[in-house]
Homo-oligomer: A and B are copies of this chain.
Amino acid sequence: MSTVKAYGNQSATALLEALNIERRALNADDVNIEILYCGVCHSDIHTARSEWGPAKYPVVPGHEIIGRVISTGDAVSRFNVGDIVGVGCMVDSCQHCSSCEDDLEQYCENGFTGTYGSADKHLGGHTFGGYAEQIVVREKFVLNIPGNLEIAKVAPLLCAGITTWSPLKHWNVKAGDKVGIIGLGGLGHMGIKFAHAMGATVVMITTSAAKGNDARLLGADEVLISTDESQMDQHKNSFDFLLNTIPVGHDVDPYLNLLKRDKTMVMVGAIEPLTNINSGVLVRKRRNIAGSLIGGIKETQEMLDFCGEHNVLPEVEMINMQEINEAWNRVVKADIKYRFVIDMASLK
């Protein structure tokens, strides 16, 4: 057991402040990682501000972690000291339920262990995330980072990346498909990059012409302004897949009408009530609406390898740990293109 420096939040109203947190002594299958970079996810803010139910304080957020292996347990075989590795939203799961057996630990029937805010099986209390100097993680949940990627930019792949990659792969998006990405933020910008790299025709669906222009720079082939009824009408019944990244409840019917028969819109942003789903819109074309949660460890590694091959990286703005409060406020105002990454050297 060791104490490491971290940034955390003592109450729903307090600002982030310096803490000393415990990290466990290494078990045989543990990897000890010096954190180099940590992405800033809106979930960090929701959790620390108790917006998703009462948080367990202190909260040390951060689940888009890139670091360097500084020591390993005796049974660790896949990693060596000095390796650059990643850790995402999960640090453990039961490993024996049907979902874990299907490499879908994010749907673990017994509940996965979140990187922060979950019950800590080793130390008691709850887990602490990546706004810190170090983290100890079970080998199974540690990811290889392809050597050619610019590591300062990789962190957001561990949450924003896999959250968009997983549904695109699961619903079998392929070259030639017409794919709509709804909403342009941390998730949407990765959705565009992945769908484009998979060879799909990518349509950015947004309320904002300015975001449409940004989307073209990221790889979108076309822009559809969702508030323009005649544009929406022109694209009716034409999409093979829709990835809906809007982070709040909204009226989904206008989007569902864009789908061809038998096609699916997947929700990855909102986890709150949607309004006005008219089941007639589903019935008339046998359309589907589904949800998707991050991704399993195996597919996260596949995504990272794909990013290495195709040099796909998020757009990031680098900050020091001391700037985190301002960064959070900018995330809430959606004033970021498209993901903050904390340079952990600033903690030293």
- Contacts A99-B261, A104-B261, A109-B237 given; indicate if A286 touches B293 (C-beta within 8 A): yes
Task: Say yes or no: is A121 at the interface (Cβ < 8 Å to chain B).
Answer: no
Question: What B residues does A280 contact at CB under 8 A?
Answer: 270-272, 291
CB distance from A237 to the nearest CB of B (A): 7
0 or 1 for each of A281-304: is its CB under 8 Å from B? (1 = yes): 111111111111100000000000
**Interface contact B267-A283, CB-CB below 8 Å:** yes
**Interface contact B291-A287, CB-CB below 8 Å:** yes
Question: What B residues does A284 contact at CB under 8 A?
Answer: 107, 291, 293
Residues facing B in A250-290 (CB within 8 A) are 261, 264, 267-268, 270-274, 276-290
CB distance from A281 to the nearest CB of B (A): 7
Task: Say yes or no: is A348 at the interface (Cβ < 8 Å to chain B).
Answer: no
Q: Which residue of B lies closest to A279 (CB)?
A: B267
Indicate which residue in B271, B289, B292 contacts A289 across the interface (CB closer than 8 Å): B289
Task: Say yes or no: is A333 at the interface (Cβ < 8 Å to chain B).
Answer: no
Residues facing B in A71-107 (CB within 8 A) are 98-99, 104, 107
- Scoring A99, A264, A276, A285 by chain B CB atoms within 10 A of each residue's CB, the highest score goes to A285
CB distance from A171 to the nearest CB of B (A): 10
**Interface contact B279-A286, CB-CB below 8 Å:** no
CB distance from A126 to the nearest CB of B (A): 20
CB distance from A234 to the nearest CB of B (A): 15
**Interface contact B290-A288, CB-CB below 8 Å:** yes
> Measured between alpha carbons, how far is A281 from B292 in the docked complex, in Å?
10
**Interface contact A271-B283, CB-CB below 8 Å:** yes
**Interface contact B170-A286, CB-CB below 8 Å:** yes
Q: Which residue of B lies closest to A52 (CB)?
A: B280
Question: What B residues does A287 contact at CB under 8 A?
Answer: 290-291
> Measured between alpha carbons, how far is A264 from B283 in the docked complex, in Å?
14
Q: Which residue of B lies closest to A289 (CB)?
A: B289
> Measured between alpha carbons, how far is A290 from B277 in the docked complex, in Å?
11
**Interface contact A288-B289, CB-CB below 8 Å:** yes
**Interface contact B268-A273, CB-CB below 8 Å:** no
Question: What B residues does A270 contact at CB under 8 A?
Answer: 279-280
Q: Which residue of B lies closest to A264 (CB)?
A: B288
**Interface contact A283-B293, CB-CB below 8 Å:** yes
Indicate which residue in B99, B264, B267, B283 contacts A268 across the interface (CB closer than 8 Å): B283
> Measured between alpha carbons, how far is A200 from B22 in the docked complex, in Å?
51
Which 3 A-B residue pairings sit nearest by Cβ, starting from the closest? Answer: A282-B291, A283-B291, A271-B280
28 cross-chain CB contacts under 8 A: A98-B261, A99-B261, A104-B261, A107-B261, A107-B284, A109-B237, A170-B286, A270-B280, A272-B278, A272-B279, A272-B280, A273-B276, A273-B277, A273-B278, A273-B279, A274-B279, A277-B277, A279-B291, A280-B291, A281-B291, A282-B289, A282-B290, A283-B291, A284-B293, A286-B290, A287-B291, A288-B288, A288-B290
